[in-house]
Chain A
Amino acid sequence: MATVSETTLVAPQNESGTKWWTRFLDPSERTLAVLLLMPAALLLTLIIVYPVCRLIWTSFQNLSLTSGLPATFAGLENYSLMLDDPVFWETTRNTVLITLITVPGALFVGLALALMANLPFNVKWPVRLSLLIPWALPLSFAGLIFAWFFHSEYGVVNDVLRRLGIEGVIWFNSANWAFAAICLTIIWKTSSFMALIILAGLQTIPRSLYEAADVDGAGRLRQFFEITLPLLKPAIVVALIFRTITALQTFDIPFTMTRGGPGTSTATLAMYIHQNTVDFLDLGYGSALAVVMFALSMAVTAVYLRMIRAKG
C-alpha cells in the first residue's frame, strides 16, 4: 500500500495531504473498527440512548405544550397521578390481557401451521406464500381488513355464523366482543411469523432421530413431545420473546379496528401514551406512562433470558 504515495510524487506539494488520505483510507485495524462502528453508534445514541435518558428526565417534569408554560420539576407527581388514573389501569389491564391471550394463541396456531406446512407438499410456493403474506401485511391494514370482517351487517364473519345457524353479534358495540375480535386479529396476524420460525426449527431436526424412535417403538405423539418439542425450544423461546415485547406495544390493530372503543374498553397502553403525547401534548404524563411500559418489557426480557439460561 506504500506504493500509493510514490505514484503521487509528481505533485510533492500534495504529499502531506496524500499521506493523510492514505492513512484515512487504510488505517490501523483498531482505528478502522472504530470508524466502521461509528455511524451505527451515532445513530443509536441519537435515537435510543439520548431519548431514553430524556424520557426518564421528562417523566419527572410538568411539561404540557398546551399550557405554554416552561417545564418545571414535578418529582413523582406524574407517577402518583397515574396511580389514581382509572384509564391508566384500564389500558394497562388491556395490554397485559392482550399479551396473555395473543402470545400463547399465536404460539399454538403458529405451531399448528408449521406442522402442517412441514408436510411434503409437491408444490411448495403456495404454502410458503400463505405464511409470508400475513407477515408482510401491515398491522394497520390487518386491523382495517378485520374491522370489515367483523362488520355487524355486511361482515363475512357474521355471514358465516348465519350460514351455520348462529346468530351473529354486533362485535364493536360490546367491550368483550370487540376485545375478542381484536385478539383474534392479532393472533391471525402474528401466528404466521411464529410458524415461519418454528418451521425453520423443524427442518433442522435430523430425520434419523425419528427413525431411531420408530425402531424403539415410540408412537407419533411421544415422538412429538420427546423429540420435536424439546429440539424446537430454542427457536420457540426466541420467537416468544419478540412476540411478547411487540404484544406489549400493541397499537395499530386496536387503533384501526375500534379506536379503543367502546369508551376506552379496548384501548392499550401504547394508545394512551400516543393520546397523551400527540393529542393532549402532555409530554410529562406521556413520558411517565412510557416508563411503565419500558419497565414492563424489560421485565419480560429478563424473565425470558433467565428461562433460557436456567434450562440451557
Chain B
Amino acid sequence: MSHDTTASRSLFSGTPLRILIGFILVVNGMFPALWILFTSLKTEAELTVKPITWLPHAPTVANYLRAFTDQPLLLFLFNSFMVAILSTALTLFISVLAAYALARLQIRGRDLILSAIIAVSTFPLVTLLVPLFEIMRALGLLNTWVALILPYTVLSLPVCTLILVSFFEGIPRDLENSAMIDGCTRIGALFKVVVPLSAPGVFTAGILAFVNAWDEFLLALSFNSNPALRTLPVGITLYQGEFAFPWPVISAALVVGIVPVAVLIVIFQERVVSGLTSGGIKG
C-alpha cells in the first residue's frame, strides 16, 4: 500500500472522504467483535431494556466469571490450544520435508505432485465425515486430540507446503553446500541452514495452520462428543440451554475465544497477509 496504484486513486481523493472510507472499513471489520465485547460487559438487566443500549452503562465482569464457571471454559481453551499447536507442529514438520524435496531435489513428476497438492487444498473434507468417523472409531481415537490433529494437519498441509516451496527456492544453494562441506548431512543442512533462513515463511505457514485448526468446528463437533475433550468453538455452543440463551455469558466466552487469535493477528499482521495472498495467488 506504499503508493496509490489503482483507478480508485482520484475517484476518492480528498482527505475527509478518505477518512470516511477508512471509517467504513474499520466499522465493517471491527463492529461485530466490538458489539460482542459491549454485550459481555452488560448486566442481565441492562440487556433486556428496550430500546436497547449501545455502550454498557454499568460495565461488569460478572459475565466473564460465569463464563468460566458455568462451563469448563479453561478446559475448552486448553483443548483448542493443544490441538492447534500440535497440528501446527506436525503440519510444519511434514510440509518442511515435502517442500524441501519439491524445491531442491530432482523429482520426476514434480509438477504432478504440485498439482496434486493444489487439488488437495480444494478438497471438501466435510464429505469424508463418515469414513473419518469410522476410521477414528476403529483406531479408538474418537474423543482424543489425535482425531482432530490428523485431519487438521491435512487441512493446512497444501497451503503450508506451497508457501515453504517458494521460500526455500529463494535460499541460495551455496549456503547449503558450504554447510555440507563442513560435514553437515543434507537433512542436517535443511534444518540448520535452510529452515532458519526461511524463518519468516515457516512462521507465516505456522500462523495459518494455527488459525485453521483454532477455527474448525464440524469435525470437532462430530469426533469429540465428550465434554472434557471439546474444543472452544464446540464448547461455546454448550452455553445455549434448552430454552435459555444467556447472551452476556456467551458473549464473554466469545471474547475470551477471540482474544488469543486477535493478539496473534495484531502482532503478525503483515506476515499473515503475505502468507494468505501468496498461497491464494499461487494456488
Q: Which residues of A contact B (CB under 8 A)?
A: 1, 3-4, 25-26, 29-30, 32-33, 36-37, 39-40, 43-44, 46-48, 50-52, 54-55, 58, 113, 115-121, 124-142, 144-146, 148-149, 151, 153-156, 159, 162, 188, 192-193, 196-197, 199-203, 205-207, 210, 220, 223-224, 227-228, 234-235, 238-239, 241-242, 245, 248-249, 251-252, 255-256, 270, 273-274, 277-278, 283, 286-287, 290-291, 293-294, 297, 301
CB-defined interface of B246-283 with A at 8 Å, one 1/0 digit per residue?
Answer: 01001100100110011011100110110011101101
Query: Is B22 a contact partner of A127 (Cβ separation < 8 A)?
Result: yes
**Dominant secondary structure of chain A at its interface with chain B:** helix
Residues on B with beta carbons closer than 8 Å to the beta carbon of A113? 25, 28
| A106 CA / B48 CA spacing, docked (Å) | 34
**CB of B86 closer than 8 Å to a CB of A:** no
| A38 CA / B135 CA spacing, docked (Å) | 21
Query: Is A200 a contact partner of B272 (Cβ separation < 8 A)?
Result: no
Among the 9-residue stretches B56-64, B71-79, B194-202, B209-217, the one with 4 or more Cβ atoms under 8 Å from chain A is: B209-217
Residues on B with beta carbons closer than 8 Å to the beta carbon of A297? 122, 124, 127
Query: Is A44 a contact partner of B10 (Cβ separation < 8 A)?
Result: no
**Contacts A129-B29, A249-B124 known; 7 new A-B pairs at CB < 8 A:** A33-B105, A40-B161, A119-B8, A119-B9, A144-B254, A206-B5, A273-B129
Q: How far is the CB of B263 from chain A (nearest CB, A)?
A: 11
**CB of B30 closer than 8 Å to a CB of A:** yes
Which of B24, B123, B129, B261 is in CB contact (< 8 Å) with A277? B129
**CB of B18 closer than 8 Å to a CB of A:** yes
**CB of B33 closer than 8 Å to a CB of A:** yes
Q: How far is the CB of A309 from chain B (nearest CB, A)?
A: 13
| A133 CA / B29 CA spacing, docked (Å) | 6
Q: Which of the listed residues B122, B130, B237 has the most CB atoms from chain A within 10 Å of its own CB?
A: B130
Residues on B with beta carbons closer than 8 Å to the beta carbon of A239? 280
Residues on A with beta carbons closer than 8 Å to the beta carbon of B45? none
**CB of B179 closer than 8 Å to a CB of A:** no
Residues on B with beta carbons closer than 8 Å to the beta carbon of A26? 185-186
Residues on B with beta carbons closer than 8 Å to the beta carbon of A223? 7
A-B contacts, 26 listed (Cβ < 8 Å): A1-B180, A36-B98, A39-B94, A39-B97, A40-B98, A43-B153, A43-B157, A44-B157, A48-B120, A113-B28, A115-B6, A118-B4, A119-B12, A119-B18, A128-B270, A133-B262, A138-B215, A145-B254, A200-B281, A210-B6, A224-B8, A252-B218, A255-B217, A274-B129, A278-B129, A283-B133
Query: Is B269 a contact partner of A129 (Cβ separation < 8 A)?
Result: yes
Query: Is A149 a contact partner of B7 (Cβ separation < 8 A)?
Result: no
Query: Is B131 a contact partner of A270 (Cβ separation < 8 A)?
Result: no
Query: Is B22 a contact partner of A126 (Cβ separation < 8 A)?
Result: yes
Residues on B with beta carbons closer than 8 Å to the beta carbon of A201? 281
Which of A47, A140, A148, A245 is in CB contact (< 8 Å) with B122? A245
Query: Is B183 a contact partner of A130 (Cβ separation < 8 A)?
Result: no
Which of A1, A156, A270, A294 is in CB contact (< 8 Å) with B185? A1
Query: Is A137 a contact partner of B3 (Cβ separation < 8 A)?
Result: no
Q: Which residue of A lies closest to B266 (CB)?
A: A129
| A309 CA / B24 CA spacing, docked (Å) | 37
Query: Is B130 a contact partner of A290 (Cβ separation < 8 A)?
Result: yes
Query: Is A277 a contact partner of B105 (Cβ separation < 8 A)?
Result: no
Given known contacts A120-B4, A129-B265, A136-B265, A234 and B18 CB-to-CB distance under 8 angstroms: no
| A1 CA / B188 CA spacing, docked (Å) | 12
Which of A128, A154, A293 is in CB contact (< 8 Å) with B269? A128
| A132 CA / B267 CA spacing, docked (Å) | 12
| A203 CA / B6 CA spacing, docked (Å) | 8
Query: Is A290 a contact partner of B127 (Cβ separation < 8 A)?
Result: yes
Q: How far is the CB of A248 from chain B (nearest CB, A)?
A: 7
Q: How far is the CB of B245 from chain A (nearest CB, A)?
A: 8
Residues on B with beta carbons closer than 8 Å to the beta carbon of A199? 277
Residues on B with beta carbons closer than 8 Å to the beta carbon of A1? 180, 183, 185
Query: Is A40 a contact partner of B95 (Cβ separation < 8 A)?
Result: yes
Residues on A with beta carbons closer than 8 Å to the beta carbon of B270? 128
Which of A30, A148, A162 is in CB contact (< 8 Å) with B36? A148
Query: Is B133 a contact partner of A135 (Cβ separation < 8 A)?
Result: no
Residues on B with beta carbons closer than 8 Å to the beta carbon of A132? 29, 265, 269, 272-273
Query: Is A127 a contact partner of B25 (Cβ separation < 8 A)?
Result: yes
Which of B1, B48, B94, B277 is in CB contact (< 8 Å) with A40? B94
Which of B18, B106, B222 is in CB contact (< 8 Å) with A278? B222
Q: How far is the CB of A50 from chain B (nearest CB, A)?
A: 8
Given known contacts A116-B25, A238-B280, A37 and B101 CB-to-CB distance under 8 angstroms: yes
| A233 CA / B123 CA spacing, docked (Å) | 23
Near A by CB (< 8 A), chain B positions 211-244 give 211, 214-218, 221-222, 225, 233-234, 236-237
Residues on A with beta carbons closer than 8 Å to the beta carbon of B24? 116
